[in-house]
Amino acid sequence: MRNIKLILAYDGTAYHGYQRQANAALTIQQLVEERLSKLFEHPIKLNGAARTDAGVHAYGQVVNFFTTGTIPVERIAMATKGLLPADIVIVGASEEPVAFHARRSAQSKIYRYRILNTRPPNPFERNYTWHCIAKLDTALMHQAAQVVVGTHDFSAFRATGGAPVSPVRTIMSASCQEMGNSIIEFEFWGTGFLYHMVRNLVGTLVKVGQHRVTPEGFAAILAGRDRRAAGMTAPAQGLFLIEVKY
């Protein structure tokens, strides 16, 4: 039995998120499982590193699966190109030890969040940014974001109704930069993220960028561990899973 690791890039616009759902909604997991099952000629069950939500994108989602098939790993990307729709691409494949598990073996993840910060909407960015018209103070958002670096209880940025897991997470780095063309990018590198945590952080940091919350106020929100004190959940389409590290 071979244990195959795949790196997936996908445009999440057309899907109801990564994870297979009980109802008929089309998800990335379901679609990739179906197409790989055809290719390998037996049912394939994927373990995914992250449960990206509907509309969330990935440059480096990682999955693994077991197969008795003999297709060499270097052929998988090419062989699936015609099987998968153009918005899902296998960008890497490797054979791993039997103990490798895409989610449980993950050491850390990098997420990016993109904002379009200009008055006119941009038709090419509509599915890949949060459109914020009011001018944002990028340097102040970057400064405030440094507060989350380290090990903290992130209850203030946790989705209500999420799984009952520990709210303590470690963030190695957080940044906010202007990228040109009115695009602002946040990047968070951490050992793990609570459900909606990046989107809740961004929704609150945008209030800092609008000078409605000070960096000190942002630090107090984190320390207060009260979700109601934080800002809105930033919309899904600005979020990208960039990389999963092992």
Q: Supply the residues annotated as catalytic.
A: 53
Q: How far is CA 39 from the centre of its chain?
A: 27
Strand 88-96, strand 183-190: pairing? unpaired
| Interface residue with a copy of itself, options 38, 42, 75, 126 (CB under 8 A) | 126
Q: Please list the helix, strand and coil fractions of the chain in percent, rounded to the nearest 5, in that order.
A: 30, 30, 45
Per-residue binding string, a copy of itself, 216-235, x by CB under 8 A, is --------------------
| Alpha helix ranges (H) inside 72-137 | 73-81
- Which candidate, 197, 193, 200, 213, places its Cα nearest to that of 143? 213
**Number of neighbouring beta carbons within 10 Å of residue 150:** 10
CB of 155 closer than 8 Å to CB of 225: yes
Q: How far is CA 86 from the centre of its chain?
A: 20
- Give the DSSP H or E segment for 187: strand 183-190
Per-residue binding string, a copy of itself, 132-171, x by CB under 8 A, is ----------------------------------------
Residue closer to a copy of itself, measured from CB, 58 or 141: 58
Residue closer to a copy of itself, measured from CB, 80 or 200: 80
| Residue 180 binds a copy of itself (CB under 8 A) | no
**Number of neighbouring beta carbons within 10 Å of residue 55:** 19
| Interface residue with a copy of itself, options 35, 57, 109, 112 (CB under 8 A) | 57
Q: How far apart are CA 56 and CA 238, in angstroms?
A: 7
Q: Return the range that interacts with a copy of itself (CB under 8 A); candidates 46-54, 114-122, 134-142, 222-230.
A: 114-122
Residue 23 Cβ vs a copy of itself, minimum distance, rounded to whole Å: 25
Q: Return the range that interacts with a copy of itself (CB under 8 A); candidates 5-13, 36-44, 108-116, 146-154.
A: 5-13
CB of 244 closer than 8 Å to CB of 109: yes
Residue 134 Cβ vs a copy of itself, minimum distance, rounded to whole Å: 15
Residue 122 Cβ vs a copy of itself, minimum distance, rounded to whole Å: 7
| Interface residue with a copy of itself, options 21, 25, 124, 151 (CB under 8 A) | 124
CA 74, 60, 190, 185 dihedral sign is positive
Per-residue binding string, a copy of itself, 76-105, x by CB under 8 A, is -x---x----xxxx-x--------------
